[in-house]
Chain A
Amino acid sequence: MSALGEFRSLSRSRRRAGAADQREQHRDNKAAAFFLAPWVVGLLGITIGPMIASLYLAFTDYNLLQDPEFTGLDNVRRLLSDDRLVESLKVTFTYVLVAVPLQLAVALGLAVLLDRGVRGLSLYRSILYLPSLLGASVAIAVLWRLVFGTEGLVNAFLALFGIEGPGWVSDPDTALGTLIILHIWTFGAPMVIFLAGLRQIPRELYEAASTEGASRKRQFFSITLPLLSPIIFFNLVLGLIGSFQSFTQAFIVSNGTGGPNDSTLFFSLYLYQEGFTSFRMGYASALAWLLLIIIGVFTALNFWASKYWVFYND
């Protein structure tokens, strides 16, 4: 069961009452205090504590050197009139809404292709999975800069056909596209999850459909997709949450600027610039909370929409 399935079952099941007797419960409380101690310290000290602190900082002017100065709604007002913020939201939403679905579509397509007893499955799977482990690294971002540079691999290849390509990463029209391609390149992780899910679908369903004369296309849309929908949902939620926070690739490809022309100014990159380059920690905290709210709303919408398309077989 995935973390998301966990939420579903938690919201459904009722508290298990009287399962353990009083003495047992008492002993468990003590033991739990011991086993959970590190986690509780972490939760309070470096998760909840900082969250509260950043909520306060969001309403202050703070440059690390002087004490934070409470400025009321100044930061909120700035949020509403910040052109670069608008730009970075545009970039981030474009990236998230294009890259995530495309990546999942590729992952699903290849998982389906690999599903039914392909010879050499494990080799194919390994090769396709590898990029998803490397994709987050600085080295790959460096590579991408050079693959899509003016004199990069892509243009050297295009030159074979007499085409003179643009400087993909230095052209505001194409820079974001190279990052989207990088995201798609890491489709291996969701693909492996899809593969595991496909294996759970009973073969008999396909056999029955086949004898009734259903085409492969029909089988895909009437059996595979509905039965896989919880896993598509899982990958979608995680993919969206993760890519809203993308940082490294844009940072490296644009050398920290989010350029050219703010065309790769991911939200987290803008937040980093405000907080750790310009030392406007108060405003950066406000940005952080805006990001949290956006991700929260987006995830909630996703859960809401899932009622209409995710099929639970229980």
Chain B
Amino acid sequence: MTDALKAAGPDEPPVISEAAALVRGKRSRRRVRTVLKHGVLVAVCLLMLYPLLWMVASSLRPNSDIFTSSGLFVDTFDFDHYPNGWDALSYPFSTYLLNSFLVVLGSVIGNLVSCSMAAYAFARLDFRAKRLTFVLMLLTIMLPIHVLIIPQYVFYAQLGWINTYLPLIVPKFLATDAFFIFLMVQFIRGIPRELDEAARIDGAGHVRIFGQIMLPLMIPALATTAIFTFIWTWNDFFTQLIFVTKPDLYTVPVALRSFIDAQSTSDFGAMFAMSVVSLIPVFLVFLFGQRFLLRGIATTGGK
């Protein structure tokens, strides 16, 4: 016991060095943890990207190589898949790209106009049955399209709209993507009311307040809406499959699908090539619009 006292008592340096070792140990443990963390993250990222990179690599390989190589390194380049795939269906792939762009453009404009108007009403106006309509709006976000699709099909058929893009675009002008109304309501609620009240005192009506004050301030929310509408419409398969059955009107997803039918056993490289082409617009939008995408899902997802 005295030994122990003696050891701990007058000898201070060992204690200090012990503390230093403790700190050093903590620091190195932290370093190990950081390295481990990055290791896990890098591994997960690679795993996530691998199928995508493999698809790109496969679109550049001769068909005979595609399923024998699981790597990403391309030995022999074969650029023919792109022109082959482009012309493999009854119309050149540019037709389908243009068709998809047309549908996307109409949808984006429709959502921007109709959802911003509805959002302004819900966020800034006091009107009869506001709570009821607001609840209805929220409920429609969760309503499965399947419940509507059959009567909608019958209705559009009576109007002669099947095999036009009207069933894909007109609903957007009627604010049926209620998710975006909600997103914009949230955004408008964050804009100080003093701004529109000042305008109101100056005698501006709601239409002017909406057009000249609100819309310019809402640009981030509008950008988020435009980007999400672009991606979701570009990817949408279910409604486009149902409403568009004429090959010259095919959009990209429907065309790609017919690719599988037509080429089920032969030209995989061409199929990969056109799949890559079909993903490029989404990828570009993601690259340049990321900020708005991330903000958009963060604000609606937040508590």
Query: Do A and B come together as binding partners?
Result: yes
Interface of A with B (CB < 8 Å)?
Answer: 1-3, 5-7, 10, 15, 19-20, 24-25, 27-29, 31-39, 41-43, 45-47, 49-51, 53-54, 57, 64, 110, 113-114, 118-120, 124-131, 133-134, 136-140, 142-147, 149, 151-153, 156-157, 160, 185, 189-190, 192-193, 195-197, 200, 230-231, 234-235, 241, 244-245, 247-248, 251-252, 255, 268, 271-272, 275-276, 281, 284-285, 287-289, 291-292, 295, 299
B16 CB–A CB distance under 8 Å = no
User: Are A42 and B235 CB-contacts (below 8 A) given A50-B152, A156-B69?
Assistant: no
Residue numbers in A under 8 Å from B236 (CB-CB): 136
| Contact indicator A39/B181 (Cβ below 8 Å) | yes
User: Are A276 and B147 CB-contacts (below 8 A) given A35-B125, A39-B114, A47-B140?
Assistant: no
Which applies to chain B's interface (DSSP): helix, strand, loop or mixed? helix
Which applies to chain A's interface (DSSP): helix, strand, loop or mixed? helix
| Contact indicator B40/A113 (Cβ below 8 Å) | yes
Interface of B with A (CB < 8 Å)?
Answer: 37-38, 40-41, 44-45, 48-49, 51-52, 54-55, 58, 67-70, 113-114, 117-118, 120-121, 125-128, 130-131, 133-138, 140-155, 157, 171, 173-176, 181-182, 186, 205-207, 210, 231-232, 234-238, 241-242, 252-253, 256-257, 259-261, 264, 268, 271-272, 275-276, 278-279, 282-283, 286, 290, 293-294, 297-303
Residue numbers in A under 8 Å from B138 (CB-CB): 3, 6-7
> Please, how many angstroms separate the alpha-carbon atoms of A230 and B303 in the complex?
7
| Contact indicator A5/B171 (Cβ below 8 Å) | no
Interface-centre pick from A46, A241, A244 (highest chain B CB count, 10 A): A46
Interface-centre pick from A6, A10, A49, A255 (highest chain B CB count, 10 A): A6
Residue numbers in A under 8 Å from B300 (CB-CB): 2-3
Residue numbers in B under 8 Å from A127 (CB-CB): 45, 48-49
Closest to B186 in A: A1
A226 to chain B minimum Cβ distance, whole angstroms, is 13
> Please, how many angstroms separate the alpha-carbon atoms of A192 and B301 in the complex?
9
> Please, how many angstroms separate the alpha-carbon atoms of A31 and B117 in the complex?
10
Partner of A128, one of B44, B67, B171, B275: B44
| Contact indicator B48/A139 (Cβ below 8 Å) | no
User: Are A42 and B176 CB-contacts (below 8 A) given A6-B138, A137-B253?
Assistant: yes
B186 to chain A minimum Cβ distance, whole angstroms, is 7
Partner of A289, one of B37, B67, B147: B147
A-B contacts, 10 of them at CB < 8 A, read: A25-B127, A28-B126, A28-B206, A31-B121, A50-B147, A57-B151, A142-B275, A156-B69, A192-B297, A231-B301
| Contact indicator B275/A245 (Cβ below 8 Å) | no
